[in-house]
C-alpha cells in the first residue's frame, strides 16, 4: 500500500475508499430487482478521481510527513512527553533550535519543498503556508526561471525562521578551450565573448539576489555562494555587512579567477558574526582581509574551520606564501585548515621567506598545490599539526624544514621522488598512502634501505597503491633496527593476499589487516586532475561537494574508516 493510501486508510474497512495518485476510471453498476422483471440500472460517478481532489488538510499532512523524514536532531535534548501527555516543543521537527535538515545535495532534483512546489499552484500555496519548509533556500542563478523572484518568495515564505542560503548554479563547467584550439580565430573570439557575457549575467543575478538577502542577514544561519566567477563573489561581498548574530557558516567559493580585484572596503569587514565556525573564501580575499581588516580575522571564535579556495590568475601569477600565512596567523585558533588549488609565487623572491609565523591549527589539508608551495608552507608556518593530509600536490624542495603531522596522509601523489625527500626527516607516528603512483619502487624501497627514517612510526596504511608483498616485508624488517612497526593496514582492490604471506605479517606485527575489496570512489574534492595537469579540478555536474548541506566538503574521504 502506498504512503498516500496508508495516510487515507489507516485501518481498512468495508466503507473505506482508496484514493491513488493516478487517475482511475470508476464505473459503479448497481443491480436492482424490480417487481417482476430484472433490470440493471447503471449509475456513473465522475470518470476521474485524482490526487488534486484531496482536501488541502490531507495534502498538508502528506507534506508534513515528508518534512519530518528529512529532519534530524541537531543537539542533545531530552524528548519526553509533557505532564498533559503532549510532546514538548523540542520534539517538533519544525523547531529549528533542536532540529536541522538531513545531509543532502542541494541540487538534487527531488529536493523538498522545491520538487512538490513545482507540481501546481495549489501545492505551492499549501507548502508556502508553513515557514519551516522554506528554511533551506536554494537559488540557482542559471536556472530557466527568474532567480530573483524565487529568492523574494522563499525569503517571504520563511517569515521569521532562521534560514540556510545557497546561491549556486547547476552548470559549473566552462566551455572547453581545447575543442576550438584548431579552429579559426573568430571562433575563439566568439567563445571568449560568450564567457564574458556569462560572467556579466552571473554577476548581475548575484547582485540582485544579495540585495534581497541583505535585510535578512540577521536570521541567516549559513550563507553558501558556489559560483563560477570570482567577480561575482566580489560583488556579493559588498552586501555582506551588518549584524548576523546566528551566522555559523559563510562560504564564498568560485572556480574561475576572472579578476584580481581587491575586496571592497565595505565587504566582510563590517559583517558582525560572532558565532561563525566555518569560513570558506579564496586565498586572495583572505590576504586582503589581513591587510585591511586584521581585527575582523582576530575576532573569529576559537576552533573555527577555514578553507582557502582556488585562486589562479590566467596570466600565471600567484600569491606570496608569506602573505597567506601572515593572514592565517591573525586567527587565534583554527580547528581545520584547508588550502585548495591556490597558485603561489616562487618563494625565492620573497623577502620574508626566512620569517616564520606561529599558527594554531589542529588539522591541515593541502590540496592541488604546485611547485614548492608545500615545502614553502612548512618552512614559514611554525606549528605542530596533529593531522596533515596532502592531496594531489607537487612536492618540490628544498625540504630544509620538517614535514609536520603526528598523523600524515598522502592522497593521489604522482611526484614520488619529491615524496621521498619530504619524508626524509618526518617524525610522526601514523603514515598513510592512498592512490600514490610507483609507491613500491620509490617510497617503500627508500624505507627498506633506511633512507627514510622511521624512528617513531607505529602505524603504516597503504590504500590502492602499486607495490609487492616483498616490498612490504623489507620495510617491516628494516623497522626492526629502529622502532618496529606495530600495525599495518592494506587496501588492495582485487588483489588477495596468500595464506603464507598473511601468516608472516601476522606473526611479525601486533596488528595486520589486508582487504581486497573495492575502495570508495575518489571524492570530487580530491579530483582526478593530476598535479602535472591543470590546477582547475572541475567537478562532475551535480556532485560538487561545496553544494552539500553542511560542511562535508571540508572532510576528504578516508579509506581506512
CA distance 368 to 414: 12
Q: Would you state the pLDDT for residue 367?
A: 96
Spell out the residues 6+ positions from residue 137 whose beta carbon is closer than 8 angstroms to its own.
Answer: 151, 154, 155, 158, 163, 164, 165, 166
Q: For residue 196, give every residue at least 6 positions away whose Cβ sits within 8 Å of its Cβ, in sequence order, or none.
A: none
The position carrying cell 422483471 is: 37
pLDDT of residue 394: 94
Contact 342, 283 (CB under 8 A): yes
Question: CB-based contacts of 521: which residues, under 8 Å, 6+ apart?
Answer: none
The whole-number pLDDT of residue 286 equals: 95
SS3 72: strand
Residues 409-436: tens digit of each pLDDT: 999 998 888 899 899 878 899 999 999 9
How many secondary structure helices (H) and strands (E) does the chain include?
15, 22
Exposed e or buried b for every residue in 230-245, given b needs 16+ CB within 10 A? bbbbbbbbbbbbeebe
pLDDT recorded at residue 54: 86
Neighbours of 33 (CB within 10 A): 9
Rounded CA gap, 443 and 433, in Å? 10
DSSP string of 453-498, one letter each residue: --SS--EEEEES----HHHHHHHHHHHTTSS---EEEEE-TT-PPP
User: What is residue 23's predicted lDDT score, i.e. its pLDDT?
Assistant: 44
Q: Mark residue 435 as left, alpha or beta (left: phi above 0; alpha: psi -120 to 50; beta: remaining).
A: left
In this structure, are strands 304-309 and 278-282 parallel, antiparallel, or unpaired?
Answer: parallel
How do the residues of the chain divide into helix, strand and coil, expressed in percent and rounded to 5? 30, 20, 50
Residue 73: phi and psi, rounded to 5, are: -70, 135
Determine the pLDDT at residue 374: 94
For 92, phi and psi rounded to 5 degrees?
Answer: -90, 125
Query: What string of pLDDT tens digits covers the 561 residues of the chain?
Result: 444 333 333 333 333 334 444 444 444 444 444 444 555 556 555 566 677 788 999 999 999 999 988 888 776 555 554 555 555 555 567 776 677 888 888 888 889 999 999 989 999 999 999 999 999 999 999 887 788 999 999 999 999 999 999 999 988 776 554 333 344 444 444 445 566 788 999 999 999 999 999 999 999 999 999 999 999 999 999 999 999 999 999 999 999 999 998 887 677 889 999 999 999 999 999 999 999 999 999 988 778 999 999 999 988 779 999 999 999 999 989 999 999 999 999 877 676 777 889 998 999 999 999 999 999 999 999 888 999 999 999 998 888 777 888 999 999 998 888 899 899 878 899 999 999 988 998 999 999 998 888 788 999 999 999 999 999 999 999 998 878 899 999 999 999 999 999 999 999 999 999 999 987 765 544 433 333 333 333 344 445 666 665 544 444 455 565
- Measure Cα distances from 390 to 204, 407, 421, 425, 432 in Å: 37, 11, 14, 17, 10
Amino acid at each position: 500500500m502506498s504512503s498516500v493510501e496508508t495516510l487515507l486508510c489507516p485501518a481498512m474497512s468495508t466503507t473505506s475508499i482508496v484514493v491513488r495518485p493516478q487517475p482511475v476510471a470508476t464505473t459503479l453498476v448497481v443491480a436492482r430487482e424490480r417487481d417482476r422483471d430484472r433490470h440493471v440500472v447503471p449509475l456513473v460517478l465522475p470518470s476521474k478521481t485524482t490526487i488534486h481532489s484531496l482536501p488541502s488538510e490531507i495534502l498538508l499532512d502528506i507534506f508534513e510527513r515528508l518534512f519530518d523524514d528529512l529532519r534530524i536532531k541537531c543537539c542533545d535534548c531530552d524528548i519526553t512527553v509533557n505532564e498533559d501527555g503532549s510532546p514538548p516543543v523540542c520534539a517538533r521537527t519544525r523547531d529549528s533550535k533542536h532540529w536541522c535538515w538531513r545531509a543532502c545535495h542541494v541540487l538534487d532534483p527531488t529536493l523538498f519543498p522545491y520538487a512538490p512546489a513545482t507540481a501546481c499552484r495549489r501545492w505551492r500555496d499549501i507548502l508556502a503556508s508553513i515557514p519551516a519548509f522554506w528554511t533551506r533556500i536554494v537559488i540557482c542563478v542559471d536556472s530557466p526561471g527568474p532567480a530573483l523572484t524565487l529568492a523574494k518568495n522563499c525569503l517571504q515564505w520563511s517569515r521569521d525562521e532562521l534560514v540556510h542560503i545557497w546561491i549556486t548554479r547547476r552548470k559549473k563547467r566552462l566551455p572547453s578551450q581545447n575543442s576550438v584550439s584548431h579552429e579559426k580565430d573568430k571562433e575563439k573570439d566568439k567563445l571568449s565573448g560568450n564567457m564574458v557575457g556569462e560572467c556579466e549575467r552571473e554577476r548581475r543575478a548575484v547582485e540582485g539576489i544579495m540585495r534581497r538577502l541583505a535585510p535578512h542577514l540577521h536570521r541567516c544561519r549559513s550563507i553558501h555562494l558556489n559560483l563560477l566567477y570570482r567577480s561575482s563573489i566580489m560583488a556579493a561581498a559588498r552586501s555582506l555587512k551588518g549584524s548576523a548574530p546566528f551566522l555559523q557558516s559563510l562560504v564564498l567559493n568560485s572556480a574561475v579567477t576572472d579578476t584580481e580585484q581587491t575586496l571592497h572596503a565595505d565587504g566582510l569587514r563590517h559583517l558582525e558574526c560572532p558565532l561563525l565556525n566555518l569560513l570558506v573564501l579564496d586565498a586572495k580575499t583572505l590576504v586582503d582581509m589581513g591587510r585591511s581588516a586584521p581585527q575582523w580575522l582576530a575576532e573569529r571564535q576559537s576552533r573555527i574551520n577555514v578553507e582557502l579556495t582556488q585562486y589562479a590568475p590566467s596570466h600565471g601569477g600567484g600569491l606570496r606564501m608569506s602573505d597567506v600565512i601572515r593572514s592565517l596567523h591573525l586567527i587565534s585558533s583554527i580547528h581545520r585548515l584547508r588550502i585548495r588549488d591556490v597558485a603561489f609565487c616562487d618563494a625565492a623572491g620573497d623577502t620574508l621567506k626566512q620569517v616564520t609565523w606561529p599558527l594554531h591549527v589542529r588539522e591541515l589539508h593541502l590540496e592541488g598545490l604546485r611547485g614548492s608551495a608545500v615545502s614553502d608552507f612548512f618552512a614559514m608556518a611554525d606549528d605542530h599539526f596533529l593531522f596533515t593530509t596532502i592531496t594531489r600536490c607537487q612536492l618540490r624542495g628544498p625540504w630544509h624544514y620538517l614535514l609536520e603531522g603526528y598523523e600524515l596522509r598522502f592522497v593521489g601523489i604522482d611526484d614520488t621522488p619529491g615524496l621521498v625527500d619530504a619524508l626524509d626527516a618526518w617524525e610522526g607516528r601514523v603514515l598513510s598512502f592512498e592512490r600514490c603512483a610507483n609507491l613500491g619502487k620509490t617510497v617503500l624501497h627508500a624505507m627498506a634501505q633506511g633512507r627514510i627514517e622511521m624512528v617513531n612510526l607505529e602505524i603504516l596504511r597503504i590504500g590502492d597503491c602499486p607495490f609487492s608483498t616483498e616490498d612490504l616485508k623489507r620495510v617491516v624488517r628494516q623497522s626492526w633496527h629502529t622502532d618496529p612497526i606495530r600495525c599495518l593496514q592494506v587496501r588492495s582492490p582485487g588483489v588477495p593476499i596468500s595464506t603464507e604471506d598473511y601468516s608472516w605479517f601476522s606473526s611479525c606485527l601486533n596488528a595486520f589487516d589486508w582487504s581486497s575489496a573495492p575502495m570508495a570512489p575518489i571524492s570530487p574534492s580530491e579530483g582526478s586532475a593530476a598535479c602535472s595537469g591543470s590546477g582547475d579540478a572541475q567537478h562532475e555536474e551535480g556532485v560538487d561537494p561545496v553544494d552539500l548541506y553542511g560542511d562535508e566538503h571540508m572532510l576528504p574521504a578516508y579509506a581506512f574508516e
